[in-house]
Amino acid sequence: MREYSNYIGGEWTPAATGQTFESRNPATGETVATVARSGREDVDRAVKVAREAYAKWRKYPVPKRGEILYKVGALLIERKEEIACLMTQEMGKVLAEARGDVQEGIDMAFYVAGEGRRMFGVTTPSEMPDKFQMAVRDPIGVVAAVTPWNFPLAIPTWKLMPAILAGNTVVFKPASDTPSVAAELVRVFEDAGLPPGVLNFVTGGGQEVGDALINHPDVDVISFTGSTETGARVVSKTAGKNKKISLELGGKNAIMVMEDADLDLAVEGILWSGYGTTGQRCTAASRLIVHEEVERPLTEKLLARIEKLKLGDGLLPDTDVGPVINARQRDRIHEYAEIGKAEGAQLLIGGEIPKGDGLDKGSFYAPTLFGGVKPDMRIAQEEIFGPVVSMITVRGLEEAIQVNNATKYGLSSSIYTQNVHRAFQAMRDVTTGILYINAGTIGAEVHLPFGGTRGTGNGHREGAVWTALDVFTEWKSIYVDYSGRLQRAQIDEFEHGA
C-alpha cells in the first residue's frame, strides 16, 4: 500500500503527531494510501520554511523559474498513465477523464513555463520630460493553495504554477479525498529540481490543517477552490486579516436547447456535461433549459441514451459513469432527488442508489433526469454535484437566457442553436464567466480565464496566465526621473516645443 507524508523544506516528513489517515477507492471501498494527518504544528513549520525560501526565490530569474516548469511538464508526460490510474482509483473518474485531468496539468506546465519569458509589465509615457515610468509585477509572499478532489491534478496546477512562476512560495493543502494524486504532483516538482521550501505540502483535515493555514499571519494569499459554504468560511474566518483571497466556488450551469438546435448534437453535449465525471465538475450541466417545441423529442432521445450509461469502476474500459467521491456525497445527492420529487418535479429516470453488479461496494448514484422543473425549485437552484439534471421548459430565447442567469451562481452556460442571431444574443446577454455555443458546459482550455460571476467566486479568474498572475502578483508602479531637477506632477507646466 502507498504511504505519503508531508513535504516541508524539501524533506518528506510525517505529521508531528505521527498520526495518519487513509484515502479510499470510491468504486471498491479499498484503501488507496495512508497519509499524514497533520495539525497546526506542521502548518506552522511549512509556512515558516516557505517564508524563509521566499527571500531567495523572489530574486531567482523568472525565465529560470519557467525552465523548472518545462521539466515539470516533461515529467508529467512520462508519468501521465501512472498518475491517471492512481487518480481513477482514488477519485473515481473514468480513466479517459483522469488522463485528461493530467493532460490539463501538462498543458498548464508548458503554458506557464513560456510565460517565464514574458510576464509583461507596462510602460507608458510620462506627462513630464526626462521621466520614464513603468509598472511591473511583484510576487506577494507565501501562498496557501487549498484544492478540491474533483480535479486532483489540474486544479492544483492552476494555482501552484503561476504562483511559483511569479516568485511566491507555496503551502499546498489538497482535499482529504485525493491526497495521493497531490503527493505525486509534489514529487514531480521535486524531481524537476524545484529548490527546497518553494513548494510545501501538508495533508489533513479542513478544521486542523485548512483553518490553521488560512489564518496563519504569515500567509499572504489564499487561493481556494471548493464548496460555496467553505469559501464563505474562508472569507469570514480571515476577515480583517488583510489577505488576498481568490475563490472558485459552486455552479448551477445550464444548457439551453433552442427550437432550431441540432438535437443529436445537443444530446451528446448534455450526456457529456451532465453525467461526465459523474456530474462532479463545477462546470457540470445540472440544468437543461429547453424550448417547448423540442422538449418531447429531446427527452426521448436523452432517455434512450441515459438508460444505456454503464456505471462501474472507472478502470474498466466499458464504464461510462464512475462512482461519486464518497458515501456522504452519494447520500446528499440522493437527498436532492427526494427533494426534487417532493417539490413536484417529475423523475424521468434514475433517482436511486443502484444495487448489484458489484456496485454495493462503492458509492454510486444512478444518472438522474427530472422533467417539469420550475426555475425556482431547489433542484434548479442549488448545487448538487452529482449526476442529476433538471429540465426546465421555456417558450423562447429571452426566457431561456433569463432562467439561465437567475441563480446565485455564474460559472458556465451553453446554448445549442443553429441561428447566428440567437447565438450572438446569448453571447451578449448571458452573465456567466464561461459560455459555449453548440458545445456542453465543460471543457475549458487552460489559456482562457476560468471562473464565474456572482456566488461562483470573488471576481478572480484562474487558467489564463494574465488573469492568474493578477491573483499571485501585486503591481508596482515605478517612476524614473532623469531630468536632474525637481519636477512636480500635476503642477509644472511646459512650453510647447521647448
Answer left, alpha or beta for residue 278, where phi above 0 means left and psi between -120 and 50 means alpha: left
Please tell me whether residue 443 binds ligand UN1 under the rule CB under 6 A.
yes
> Distance (Å, rounded) from C-alpha 394 to C-alpha 291?
5
Q: Could you tell me which of 405, 410, 440, 437 has the C-alpha nearest to residue 424?
A: 437
- Match 460559472 to its residue by C-alpha cell: 411
Please tell me whether residue 159 binds ligand UN1 under the rule CB under 6 A.
no
Question: Looking at 46, 170, 325, 444, which residue binds ligand UN1 (CB under 6 A)?
Answer: 444
Catalytic one among 282, 295, 383, 462?
A: 282
Question: Looking at 50, 282, 321, 430, which residue binds ligand UN1 (CB under 6 A)?
Answer: 282
Question: Looking at 283, 390, 393, 417, which residue binds ligand UN1 (CB under 6 A)?
Answer: 283
> Distance (Å, rounded) from C-alpha 50 to C-alpha 57?
10
Considering only the stretches 108-116, 373-381, 392-400, 441-449, report the one whose residues sit in contact with ligand UN1 under the rule CB under 6 A: 441-449
Catalytic one among 90, 115, 208, 248?
A: 248
For residue 465, the number of C-alpha atoms closer than 13 Å in the C-beta half-sphere is 23
In the bound state with ligand UN1, the residue whose beta carbon lies nearer, of 104 and 184, is: 104
In sequence order, which residues have a C-beta less than 8 Å from that of residue 274 and are 6 or more positions away?
255, 284, 285, 286, 288, 367, 387, 389, 440
In the bound state with ligand UN1, the residue whose beta carbon lies nearer, of 209 and 444, is: 444
Total binding residues for ligand UN1 by CB under 6 A? 9
Please tell me whether residue 414 binds ligand UN1 under the rule CB under 6 A.
no
Binding to ligand UN1 in span 334-363, by CB under 6 A: none
Considering only the stretches 86-94, 230-238, 328-336, 438-446, report the one whose residues sit in contact with ligand UN1 under the rule CB under 6 A: 438-446
Please tell me whether residue 150 binds ligand UN1 under the rule CB under 6 A.
yes
3-state DSSP call for residue 88? helix
> Distance (Å, rounded) from C-alpha 157 to C-alpha 411?
20
For the question of residue 248 being annotated catalytic, the response is yes
Considering only the stretches 24-32, 177-185, 210-218, 280-288, report the one whose residues sit in contact with ligand UN1 under the rule CB under 6 A: 280-288
In sequence order, which residues have a C-beta less than 8 Å from that of residue 338 and are 6 or more positions away?
none
Please tell me whether residue 249 binds ligand UN1 under the rule CB under 6 A.
no
Residue 361 CA: distances (Å) to CA of 16, 166, 355? 34, 45, 9
Q: Which three cell numbers stand for residue 485?
A: 531637477
> Distance (Å, rounded) from C-alpha 85 to C-alpha 96?
10
Considering only the stretches 79-87, 169-177, 229-237, 437-445, report the one whose residues sit in contact with ligand UN1 under the rule CB under 6 A: 437-445
For the question of residue 282 being annotated catalytic, the response is yes
**Contact pattern for ligand UN1 over residues 98 through 117, marking x by CB under 6 A:** ------x-------------
Query: Least distance in Å: CB of 70 to ligand UN1?
Result: 22
> Distance (Å, rounded) from C-alpha 265 to C-alpha 417?
10
Considering only the stretches 279-287, 323-331, 387-395, 467-475, report the one whose residues sit in contact with ligand UN1 under the rule CB under 6 A: 279-287
Q: Could you tell me which of 32, 47, 31, 39 has the C-alpha nearest to residue 15?
A: 39
Question: What length does the chain have?
Answer: 498
Question: Looking at 36, 234, 369, 442, which residue binds ligand UN1 (CB under 6 A)?
Answer: 442
In the bound state with ligand UN1, the residue whose beta carbon lies nearer, of 139 and 250, is: 250
Q: Which residues are catalytic?
A: 248, 282
Interface residues with ligand UN1 (CB under 6 A)? 104, 150-151, 281-283, 442-444
